[in-house]
């Protein structure tokens, strides 16, 4: 229940159906920043033109600042008024020049939206609606201007001045200050505006585009971080070449700069020609970054670079179209990463991520379509659904069209919508037109929330196999009834006796509620391999037996399907164990043994395949998740696997050998398997496990091995545990990104005392909510630790709610993003549900709560 007072204060809802084109356009803007952390003066001068026949005033969005001056065509006017945070200026005529002046205080900007200070660097974050915190302007993505930006600042404190586009002039002033001017010729909306001022060092590179233009690249960081920037620079060059080769997309300015800052709400931001990054997605060297970090850096650098076309050259008409740029760009970065190493392992990782975050979102109170219908705070819609399910939609269209027609369709899209603000519908139309397909029913994927469930059953009679497929899309908040979707399902049949394929791989487009497919000349009992490559983002329910799944895990020729069969086998076993208290582990043990013993398989693939499904994914299969029973069932299977296959784990562990560190797919695969093996050796209770882990911790020449050993130690009851944590903290005391790992490893610990340890860590001198990475490393990590967060006394829920309320006062956007785990209360038993709900009610009733957190908490109570 929401009390009356809160209900009255409930913030306004923005609806997709209310979209109207802008009444005034702004072809050009000139900004002048007098930069000072305590008081920055922003002068804006821009031309406005009336768009269509109407009498509406010019509306400029603001965020609490008061205008120091407003001029129209060079004359100070008083006719303007403020409506809420916005400024309304009545205008006659078709075109005018507007000038405004405001003062803002970057130093006290703790929300990290607009112009703010991070470790002495002044930087901006404007997506989605941060620009209004800088100056008055139509802060909407369908108003595209060319920008001219002048910055003036103290030269000693801010020797480097960067903005979008190309640098055009710079100079010194007599008073120790200096200035620079930048011009961006490509029309862009406010959310892509950026500037940076600071004492930065640069790692420079060059890239020659396919048409022979030379682009100056720069990765800008604090001087001490410069040795950790080579990997990001390499990734950038690789991404630039990839986008030319795969999509025909060439870079368009003479410079491309990336700046890394420590305080950042998200991963990174694609500002035109001046990407700004969370330092965790730039800085890497073997001693401080894991293989996972290296991969994530390359993926995010590529993602932001790819936005130059899918986001910047073609942008979004309104924020309901967010997946137009994000879903497409995630698909592009996933394809890029797949091309850098093992495509199969990349697909497994992406599907695991989808199941860990998007499926639960789609099944819970915050479920929303890929193209939402309404929002209170747009920042809350930078979700796994918009990004990752959105990417699956693009992938399905690519599958339906095939590579050549998909490329023709993206060419058409870029050509037709270059320089404009487009919609998801525009993208799908191009797919249809250039692909020569009818996607009218496919469009439901943009409108309907919820993960489709597909049941698949195969029967065999004489020489004929009959496959029965049926689909069902579950109800989601506001969408009780669903229509059948278009599901591209790749499938193939294998012979149960011979192990031979009985058919080729086929692409079935299931677009009705139920369908029957008949296969003739099927001479032996068929085993169904379905949703190969995870061709559709659905849940498959099949009647395949443990024997069928074990068979596929050994014989399927599609690596993803092989992985999937093993996961399903493990999942079935763990679900049975959770519900019944015990289960037969033998089928899983045999399948894992077979996979470990197969020398033909890539080690990284083996490491993925032998990992048990996560506790939360097991919980998602159950009507009511019981975290303690799930934990016990999973630990029991881990122990049995550890004991039964002890020799194989030792062999996998030793195979990684003592070769010096190298970063390449082969070496990464060996490390990954070695560390999975270490986990199983520890789970087996082997007498030397503690010694092994501690030796690895001390001897490691890279962070992948060191952090994996620390994780094993942190989960253990061994004496070496405390020593390892202390050594790690001491060794990396001056590296905030590694300290995040120290907090995170403890927050994710499987030990029983984790809730108490985490509460203590929140009081540690190195802990602060003001830095989003640090807040997430403790509170975010703890809230996905199923055993600890869901401790039956409710202390985990109370802790997270307290942190959310405290963080909401500093940084609402980051606070709201920590809420979804509490919002999943309906998934748990009555006692836990009541405790979680009580915390949500307490959050909603908090005086002065932001609309960000209000939206997430109130929807979690209603949904």
Residues that bind ligand TRP (CB under 6 A): 125, 127-128, 265-270, 303-304, 326, 379, 382
Output the smallest distance, CB 191 to Zn ion, in A.
11
Q: Which CB atom, from 127 or from 720, has the smaller least distance to ligand TRP?
A: 127
Distance from C-alpha of 728 to C-alpha of 712, rounded to nearest angstrom: 14
Output the smallest distance, CB 162 to Zn ion, in A.
20
Residue 775's closest CA among 128, 262, 260? 262
From the list ligand TRP, Zn ion, none, pick the one residue 608 interacts with, judged by a Cβ distance below 5 to 8 Å according to partner type: none
Residues 6+ apart with CB under 8 A from 248: 407, 411
Whether the upstream peptide bond of residue 775 has omega within 30° of 0, thus cis, is no
Output the smallest distance, CB 53 to ligand TRP, in A.
35
DSSP-derived pairing of the beta strands 214-221 and 255-261: parallel
From the list ligand TRP, Zn ion, none, pick the one residue 711 interacts with, judged by a Cβ distance below 5 to 8 Å according to partner type: none
Is 174 exposed, middle or buried (CB count within 10 Å of its CB: 0-12, 13-18, 19+)? exposed
User: Which helix H or strand E contains 375, and what residues bound it?
Assistant: strand 374-375
Altogether, the residues listed in the chain come to a count of: 863
Look up 763 and say whether it is catalytic.
no
Residue 231's closest CA among 184, 276, 293? 293
Q: What are phi and psi of 154, to 5 degrees?
A: -60, 125
Q: Which CB atom, from 630 or from 769, has the smaller least distance to ligand TRP?
A: 769
Output the smallest distance, CB 302 to Zn ion, in A.
11
Give the active site residue among 304, 377, 564, 855.
304
524 C-beta neighbours (distance < 10 Å), count: 17
Q: Which CB atom, from 326 or from 808, has the smaller least distance to ligand TRP?
A: 326
Output the smallest distance, CB 190 to ligand TRP, in A.
13
Distance from C-alpha of 5 to C-alpha of 844, rounded to nearest angstrom: 11
Residues 6+ apart with CB under 8 A from 605: 342, 344, 345, 348, 559, 563, 669
Using the CB atoms, write b or e for 447-484: b if 16+ within 10 Å: bbbbbbebebebebeeeebebebbbebbebeebeebeb
Q: Which CB atom, from 262 or from 432, has the smaller least distance to ligand TRP?
A: 262
CA distances (Å), 345 to each of 538, 556, 560, 602, 799, in order?
Answer: 19, 15, 8, 9, 36
Output the smallest distance, CB 850 to Zn ion, in A.
23
Output the smallest distance, CB 586 to ligand TRP, in A.
45
Distance from C-alpha of 153 to C-alpha of 723, rounded to nearest angstrom: 47
Alpha-helical regions (H) of 598-735:
603-609, 615-620, 627-644, 646-655, 665-683, 689-699, 703-714, 720-731
Cβ atoms of 314 and 417 closer than 8 Å: yes
Output the smallest distance, CB 350 to Zn ion, in A.
15
Q: Which CB atom, from 229 or from 323, has the smaller least distance to ligand TRP?
A: 323
What distance lies between CA 779 and its chain's CA centroid? Answer: 18
Q: Which CB atom, from 304 or from 349, has the smaller least distance to ligand TRP?
A: 304
Output the smallest distance, CB 300 to ligand TRP, in A.
7
Instruction: Show the tokens assigned to 103.
Output: 């003062």
Which residues in this chain contact Zn ion in the complex, by CB under 5 A? 326, 329
Q: Which CB atom, from 192 or from 849, has the smaller least distance to Zn ion?
A: 192
CA distances (Å), 373 to each of 15, 391, 447, in order?
Answer: 6, 19, 8
Output the smallest distance, CB 306 to Zn ion, in A.
8
Task: Give the dihedral sign, CA 137/139/145/146.
Answer: positive
Q: Which CB atom, from 310 or from 423, has the smaller least distance to Zn ion?
A: 310
Q: Which CB atom, from 417 or from 631, has the smaller least distance to Zn ion?
A: 417
Distance from C-alpha of 860 to C-alpha of 337, rounded to nearest angstrom: 35
Cβ atoms of 448 and 485 closer than 8 Å: yes
Q: Which CB atom, from 326 or from 362, has the smaller least distance to Zn ion?
A: 326
Q: Is 408 helix (H, G, I), strand (E, B) or coil?
A: helix
From the list ligand TRP, Zn ion, none, pick the one residue 702 interacts with, judged by a Cβ distance below 5 to 8 Å according to partner type: none
Active site residues: 304
């Amino acid at each position: 229940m929401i009390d009356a007072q809160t209900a009255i204060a409930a913030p306004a809802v923005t609806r997709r159906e209310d979209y109207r084109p802008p009444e005034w356009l702004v072809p050009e803007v000139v900004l002048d920043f007098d930069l000072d952390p305590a008081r920055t003066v922003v002068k804006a001068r821009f031309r406005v033109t009336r768009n269509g026949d109407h009498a509406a005033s010019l509306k400029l969005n603001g965020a609490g600042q008061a205008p120091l001056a407003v001029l129209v065509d060079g004359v100070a006017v008083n006719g303007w008024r403020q409506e809420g945070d916005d400024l309304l200026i009545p205008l006659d005529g078709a075109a005018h020049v507007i000038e405004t002046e405001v003062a803002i205080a970057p130093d006290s900007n703790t929300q990290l939206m607009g112009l703010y200070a991070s470790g002495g660097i002044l930087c901006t974050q404007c997506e989605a609606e941060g620009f209004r915190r800088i100056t008055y302007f139509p802060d909407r993505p369908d108003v595209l201007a060319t920008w001219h930006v002048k910055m003036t600042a103290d030269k000693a404190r801010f020797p480097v001045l960067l903005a979008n586009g190309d640098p055009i002039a710079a100079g010194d002033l007599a008073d120790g200050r200096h200035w620079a001017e930048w011009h961006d010729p490509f029309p862009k909306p406010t959310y892509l505006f950026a500037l940076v001022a600071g004492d930065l060092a640069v790692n420079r590179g060059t890239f020659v585009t396919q048409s022979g233009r030379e682009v100056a690249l720069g990765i800008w960081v604090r001087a001490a971080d410069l040795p950790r920037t080579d990997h990001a620079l390499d990734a950038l060059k690789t991404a630039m070449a990839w986008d030319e080769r795969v999509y025909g997309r060439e870079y368009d300015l003479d410079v491309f700069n990336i700046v890394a800052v420590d305080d950042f709400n998200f991963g990174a931001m694609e500002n035109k020609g001046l990407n700004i990054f969370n330092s965790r997605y730039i800085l890497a060297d073997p001693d401080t970054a894991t293989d996972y970090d290296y991969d994530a850096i390359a993926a995010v650098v590529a993602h932001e670079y790819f936005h130059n076309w899918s986001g910047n050259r073609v942008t979004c008409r309104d924020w309901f179209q967010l997946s137009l740029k994000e879903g497409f760009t995630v698909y592009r970065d996933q394809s890029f990463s797949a091309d850098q190493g093992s495509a199969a392992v990349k697909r497994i990782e992406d599907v695991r991520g989808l199941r860990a975050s998007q499926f639960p979102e789609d099944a819970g109170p915050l479920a929303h379509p890929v193209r939402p219908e309404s929002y209170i705070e747009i920042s809350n819609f930078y979700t796994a659904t918009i990004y990752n399910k959105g990417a699956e939609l693009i992938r399905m269209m690519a599958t339906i069209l095939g590579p050549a027609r998909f490329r023709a369709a993206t060419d058409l899209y870029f050509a037709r919508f270059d320089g404009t603000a487009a919609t998801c519908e525009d993208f799908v139309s191009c797919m249809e037109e250039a692909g020569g397909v009818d996607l009218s029913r496919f469009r439901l994927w943009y409108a309907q929330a919820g993960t489709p469930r597909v049941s698949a059953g195969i029967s065999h009679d004489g020489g004929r196999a009959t496959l029965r497929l049926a689909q069902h899309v579950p109800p989601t908040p506001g969408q009780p009834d669903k229509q059948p979707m278009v599901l591209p399902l790749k499938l193939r049949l294998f012979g149960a006796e011979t192990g031979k394929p009985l058919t080729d791989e086929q692409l079935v487009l299931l677009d009705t509620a139920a369908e029957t497919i008949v296969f003739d000349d099927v001479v032996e009992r068929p085993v169904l391999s379905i949703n190969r490559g995870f061709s559709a983002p659905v849940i498959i329910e099949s009647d395949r037996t443990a024997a069928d799944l074990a068979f596929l895990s050994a014989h399927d020729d599609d690596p993803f399907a092989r992985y999937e069969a093993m996961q399903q086998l493990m999942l079935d076993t763990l679900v049975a164990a959770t519900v019944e208290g015990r289960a037969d582990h033998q089928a899983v043990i045999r399948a894992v043994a077979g996979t470990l013993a197969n020398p033909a398989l890539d080690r990284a693939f083996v490491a993925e395949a032998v990992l048990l499904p996560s506790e939360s994914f097991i919980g998602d299969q159950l009507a009511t998740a019981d975290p303690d029973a799930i934990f016990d069932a999973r630990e029991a299977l881990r122990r049995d696997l550890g004991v039964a296959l002890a020799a194989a784990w030792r062999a996998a562990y030793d195979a990684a050998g003592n070769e010096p560190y190298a970063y390449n797919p082969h070496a990464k695969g060996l490390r990954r398997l070695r560390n999975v093996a270490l986990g199983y050796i520890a789970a087996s209770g082997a007498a030397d496990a503690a010694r092994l882990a501690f030796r690895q911790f001390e001897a490691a020449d890279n962070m992948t091995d060191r952090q994996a050993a620390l994780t094993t130690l942190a989960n253990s009851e061994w004496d070496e545990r405390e020593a390892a944590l202390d050594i790690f903290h001491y060794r990396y005391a001056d590296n905030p990104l590694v300290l995040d790992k120290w907090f995170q490893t403890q927050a994710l610990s499987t030990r029983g005392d984790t809730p108490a340890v985490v509460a203590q860590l929140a009081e540690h001198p190195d802990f602060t909510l003001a830095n989003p990475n640090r807040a997430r490393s403790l509170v975010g990590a703890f809230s996905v630790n199923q055993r600890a967060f869901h401790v039956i006394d409710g202390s985990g829920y109370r802790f997270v709610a307290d942190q959310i309320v405290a963080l909401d006062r500093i940084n609402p956007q980051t606070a709201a993003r920590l809420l979804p785990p509490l919002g999943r209360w309906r998934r748990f038993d009555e006692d836990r549900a009541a405790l979680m709900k009580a915390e949500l009610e307490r959050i909603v009733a908090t005086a002065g709560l932001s609309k960000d957190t209000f939206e997430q908490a109130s929807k979690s109570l209603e949904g």
